[in-house]
Structure formats: structure tokens, C-alpha cells
């Protein structure tokens, strides 16, 4: 009774109630333990996630493959507190064989760097807590055992669609139960490594392309500089050639100079200048009967190799440019290479065309000068003849004797026109006649003397009898029978270039 007075809050509970309270208390303690398990790892998890972000950030800061790989293995080993972290690179597209290309390992464990291994990988993250209890037996397992690996965590590294390699975390001292979060982190890190490697590959490709473009640009600039230098050299040579051919007004000398200079410029076996005949297509068609279209080419062209068709003239390749004098095609300028095929460059064809054009201008100039000189000579000769005619007429007019007049006339005319014979023939009333006077050069038969020796010629002789003086038995009576022929019908003179081709009967 006294006890109850001392404890006013005392409640008398039955057995069932007590058991219920004890169960609730046990459940509460379990809940508290679970909450402690959840709350306690939070600081450690945050620390690991921070380490993950740091590792991923450092990997992303690298732009060199070796730096990426070395940063990865170092950061991952520290983050996972593993004995060894290494990266396996697949050397074949089938991913069946690879080599460890990066590693970070504690000193007491053997290095696997540069070790070549065979690998079985399906492209997923693979976690093995205890290789000694693994339910598989393959070469890969034997290889890991040889490297004293007890537990392994391997995540695939992809560069784009290609399986590049594996990120391998090794525990050697003892077996290790890989946590779900560690497996996820290894996959995230491997994915970031793949992106970094792809970026590095693209950067290398970009640098290579840049270097190639720079090299190509330098080569192009050098080529352009060389081409410019060659162009300047060609211009210089062309200017010198133009000066040489224009300094000479002799056509043969111009052609010879052009062919010699062009052969040295083109470093070929021969250079020829072909002139077309006025009435035919020239020798070029005869030289190349297989190519009738080459008779009068209007444009420059080149043939690199014609050996199979024209080996009989030892011609292997050639380049041809037309030569125009004014609007008329005068001929061709051709450069030949005999020993072996030659690829004629466009600049060479253009250069040969320029030489052909300048040669045409020089020829036009030379022909114009030649024509002027010929015209000047003709004028001088005309003046000389007019003076000689005037002198002859003056001599004739000063003579009062008919025979003297005749003698003076034939001599002055023969000297004037530089003929072999000049004679005066006089008609009789019946249109017969005779040579009354003659001036004949030394070495030729005198018609006048023959006439005196052969009496029959005095009876019937005309313009055609000169042809028959060698056979005086044949007497030509044409002028007598036609009463003077065309001379009595207004013909003032007759010109016969060749009496043997004049058709006289």
C-alpha cells in the first residue's frame, strides 16, 4: 500500500500489453538502425561523388591521348582505393586482342603495362568480386590470375560507335564486393574517357588536316612562285627571241633563229618551221598521212606519245603551233621529242603559241620590208628604163639615116630589156617580108645572117619562122596567107613566153 502511494503514476499492465510494447520497441530500434545506416554514408558518398566529378573534370581538361589515359588511371585508382587501375586498348576491330596502354599500380604489385592479352568483352560493365570463385574458366581468367588479380571491375570505353577498350579496376590483396554505385561510376568514367579520346582523335585529325593544308598551301605557294619565276623566265626568253627575230629582216635568218632558240627553251630534240605551199597543203600532210586533219591546224595542240604510229620516223611526241601572217596561215612551228613520251604542259603549248605568233609578226614585217624593197627596185628599174627609153628615143630622133635609126633602135632595146636578140621585120606589099636589122648577143645564131644565106626565107617568112630556122626547108606562110594576121586587126604586140608551148602549128 505504501508503494502505491509513492508511485502515483504506476499502472498495472497485463502480460499481453507488455509483450505488445516490447515488440514496438524492438521495431523502433530497428528503424533507428536503418536510419543510421542511411544517414552515416551520406558524407562519404558526397565525398566520393565529389571525387568522381573531379576525376571527370580532369579527364575532360586533357586533349592529348596519353594525358587522358594517365589522368584516368591515376584519378580512378585514388577514387576507388584500388591496387591497380589500367586501360586496355583493343588492337583489332573484333576486340579479341588488346594491349594495356596505361596503368597506375601500387609498388607491391606487378605491372601489366604493354602486356598483350586476349580479351572477351560483350560491351557491358563487368564486375567480378572473387576470381577464385568465378563461374568461368577462360584465357582472360588465367591472364588475370597471372597478374595476381583477385577482384576486377571492367567498363567498356566507346569512341563513337567503336569499342575502343576497357577501363579495368583491379583489387589484388583480397577479394572485394563491388558496390552498385561503384559499378555505375566506372561506367560513367569510361563513357567520359571515350568522349575525351574521341575529342583527342578529332583534334589530332584537325591538326593533321591543318598541317596538311599548311603543307599544301606552302607547296602551292612555292609552286606558284616557281611558276611565276618560270613565267618571268619565259617572258624574258620570249622578249630576247622577239628582239633577235625582229632585228633581222631576212626570212631564212628569222626562221633559223626561231628554231634554234625554241629548241633550247623547250629542251627537245628538234624544232622545225614548216611553210605551206601556195597550191597544196604542204609537206606536213605527207609526213603524217595517218593524220589528215593536221594539214592546216588552226590551233596549237600536242601529242604526248605517237611512237606506235610513227616509229618509222623516230618521232615520239610533238607540239605544234600555227603560224599566221596576217589572216593567212603561213605554216607551222613544231617541237619534237624523239627519245621517250613527253607530257606537254599547257604553259609549254601556250609558250610555243606565243613564239608562233611572234614569228608570224616577224615574217609579216620581213615580207613587208621585202615587198617594199622589191617595189623600190621595180621603181628604180622603171626609172632606169624610162631614162634608157628617153635616151634611145633621143638618139633615134637625132639620126637622119634609116639604117642608123634601125641599128640604134635594136641595140638600145636589147640593152634595155637585156634580151638575147632584138630584130626589125619589114612586111612587103604581099605580106611577105624580111628581117632588115638585128642586134644579137654573143653565142646566138643571127637570124639576119641566116636569112641572107637561105634565099627561101626571104620569100615567105613571119613570126613563126624563127622556130623553124633550124629546119629551113619548112616554110611558114601564115602571115602571108592571113594578110598580116592579127597585126592588121589592131593587135599592137604579141608576147610568147615559150614558143615550144605556144601551140604553133
pLDDT reading at 487 higher than 80: no
pLDDT tens string 26-72: 777 777 666 656 554 545 555 666 666 666 677 767 778 888 899 88
Specify the pLDDT at position 6.
46
Q: What are the CB-based long-range contacts (under 8 Å, 24+) for 378-384?
A: none
- pLDDT for 299 equals 61
CB atoms within 10 A of CB 452: 13
DSSP H helices, 399-446, are 402-417
- CA torsion 459-461-465-466 (nearest 10°) is 100
Q: Which of 262, 338, 348 is nearest to 301 (CA)?
A: 348
pLDDT score of 292 more than 60:
no
pLDDT at 109: 92
Phi, psi (deg, nearest 5) at residue 116: -95, 130
Segment 185-191 shows an average pLDDT of 89
**pLDDT of residue 2 exceeding 50:** no
- What does the block give as the cell for 109? 604489385
**In 267-401, which ranges are continuous DSSP H helix?**
283-287, 307-310, 346-398
Contacts of 84 (CB under 8 A, 6+ apart): 77, 103, 104, 105, 106, 109, 112, 147, 149, 168, 169, 170, 172
pLDDT(135) > 90: no
Cβ of 227: how many Cβ atoms within 10 Å? 12
pTM assigned to the model:
0.46
- Say if residues 441 and 420 touch (Cβ distance below 8 Å): yes
Q: Which three cell numbers stand for residue 353?
A: 603559241
- Is residue 181 within 8 Å of 171, Cβ to Cβ? no
Whether the per-residue pLDDT at 468 is higher than 60: the answer is no
Mean pLDDT on 315-331: 82
Contact 271, 263 (CB under 8 A): yes
Rounded average pLDDT over 416-440:
84
**Per-residue pLDDT for 288 more than 80?**
no
- For the segment 92-99, the average pLDDT, to the nearest whole number, is 78
pLDDT in tens, 3-12: 444 445 555 6
Q: What is the pLDDT of residues 299-311, one digit of tens each?
A: 665 666 555 555 5
413-427 mean pLDDT: 86
First to last CA, the chain: 194
Mean pLDDT of the chain: 77
- What percent of the chain shows pLDDT beyond 70? 76
> When comparing pLDDT for 345 and 502, which is higher?
345
Q: What is the pLDDT of residues 191-244, one digit of tens each?
A: 888 888 888 888 888 888 889 998 888 988 888 888 888 778 778 877 887 787
C-beta of residue 467 within 8 angstroms of C-beta of residue 499? yes
**Which segments of 399-505 does DSSP mark as H helices, in order?**
402-417, 447-453, 456-459, 478-481
Mean pLDDT of 426-431: 81
| Sole residue written with cell 634611145 | 392
Rg (CA), the chain: 59
Amino acid at each position: 500500500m505504501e508503494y502505491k502511494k509513492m508511485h502515483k503514476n504506476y499502472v498495472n499492465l497485463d502480460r499481453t500489453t507488455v509483450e505488445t510494447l516490447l515488440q514496438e520497441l524492438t521495431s523502433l530500434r530497428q528503424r533507428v538502425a536503418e536510419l543510421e545506416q542511411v544517414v552515416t554514408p551520406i558524407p562519404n558518398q558526397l565525398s566520393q561523388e565529389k571525387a568522381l566529378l573531379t576525376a571527370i573534370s580532369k579527364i575532360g581538361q586533357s586533349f592529348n591521348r596519353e594525358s587522358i589515359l594517365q589522368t584516368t588511371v591515376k584519378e580512378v585508382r585514388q577514387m576507388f582505393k584500388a591496387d591497380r587501375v589500367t586501360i586496355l586498348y583493343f588492337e583489332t576491330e573484333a576486340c579479341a586482342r588488346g594491349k594495356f596502354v596505361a596503368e597506375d599500380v601500387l609498388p607491391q604489385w606487378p605491372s601489366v603495362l604493354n602486356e598483350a592479352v586476349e580479351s572477351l568483352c560483350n560491351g557491358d560493365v563487368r564486375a567480378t568480386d572473387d576470381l577464385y570463385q568465378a563461374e568461368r574458366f577462360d584465357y582472360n581468367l588465367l591472364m588475370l590470375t597471372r597478374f595476381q588479380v583477385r577482384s576486377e571491375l571492367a567498363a567498356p570505353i566507346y569512341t563513337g560507335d567503336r569499342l575502343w577498350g576497357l577501363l579495368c579496376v583491379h583489387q589484388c590483396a583480397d577479394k572485394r564486393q563491388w558496390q552498385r554505385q561503384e559499378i555505375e561510376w566506372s561506367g560513367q568514367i569510361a563513357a567520359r574517357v571515350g568522349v575525351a579520346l574521341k575529342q583527342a582523335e578529332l583534334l589530332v585529325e584537325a591538326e593533321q588536316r591543318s598541317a596538311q593544308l599548311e603543307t599544301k598551301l606552302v607547296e602551292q605557294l612555292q609552286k606558284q612562285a616557281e611558276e611565276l619565276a618560270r613565267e618571268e623566265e619565259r617572258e624574258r626568253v620570249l622578249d630576247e627571241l622577239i628582239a633577235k627575230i625582229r632585228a633581222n629582216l631576212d626570212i631564212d635568218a628569222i626562221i633559223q633563229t626561231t628554231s634554234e632558240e625554241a629548241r633550247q627553251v623547250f629542251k627537245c630534240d628538234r624544232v622545225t618551221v614548216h611553210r605551206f605551199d601556195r597550191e597544196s597543203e604542204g609537206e606536213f600532210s605527207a609526213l603524217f598521212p595517218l593524220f589528215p586533219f593536221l594539214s592546216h591546224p588552226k590551233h596549237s595542240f600536242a601529242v604526248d606519245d605517237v611512237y606506235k604510229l610513227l616509229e618509222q620516223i623516230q618521232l615520239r611526241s610533238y607540239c605544234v603551233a600555227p603560224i599566221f601572217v596576217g589572216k593567212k596561215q603561213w605554216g607551222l612551228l613544231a617541237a619534237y621529242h624523239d627519245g621517250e613520251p613527253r607530257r606537254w604542259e599547257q604553259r609549254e603549248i601556250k609558250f610555243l603559241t606565243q613564239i608562233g605568233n611572234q614569228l608570224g609578226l616577224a615574217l609579216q614585217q620581213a615580207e613587208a620590208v621585202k615587198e617594199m624593197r622589191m617595189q623600190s627596185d621595180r621603181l628604180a628599174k622603171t626609172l632606169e628604163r624610162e631614162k634608157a627609153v628617153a635616151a634611145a628615143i633621143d638618139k633615134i630622133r637625132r639620126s637622119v639615116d634609116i639604117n642608123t635609126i634601125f641599128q640604134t633602135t635594136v641595140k638600145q632595146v636589147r640593152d634595155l630589156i637585156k634580151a638575147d636578140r632584138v630584130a626589125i621585120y619589114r612586111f612587103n606589099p604581099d605580106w611577105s617580108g624580111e628581117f632588115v636589122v638585128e642586134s644579137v648577143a654573143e653565142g646566138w645564131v643571127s637570124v639576119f645572117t641566116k636569112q641572107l644565106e637561105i634565099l627561101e626565107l626571104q620569100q615567105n617568112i613571119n613570126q613563126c619562122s624563127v622556130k623553124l630556122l633550124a629546119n629551113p626547108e619548112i616554110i611558114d606562110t601564115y602571115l602571108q596567107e592571113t594578110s598580116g594576121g592579127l597585126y592588121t586587126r589592131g593587135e599592137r604586140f604579141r608576147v610568147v613566153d615559150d614558143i615550144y608551148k605556144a601551140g604553133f602549128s
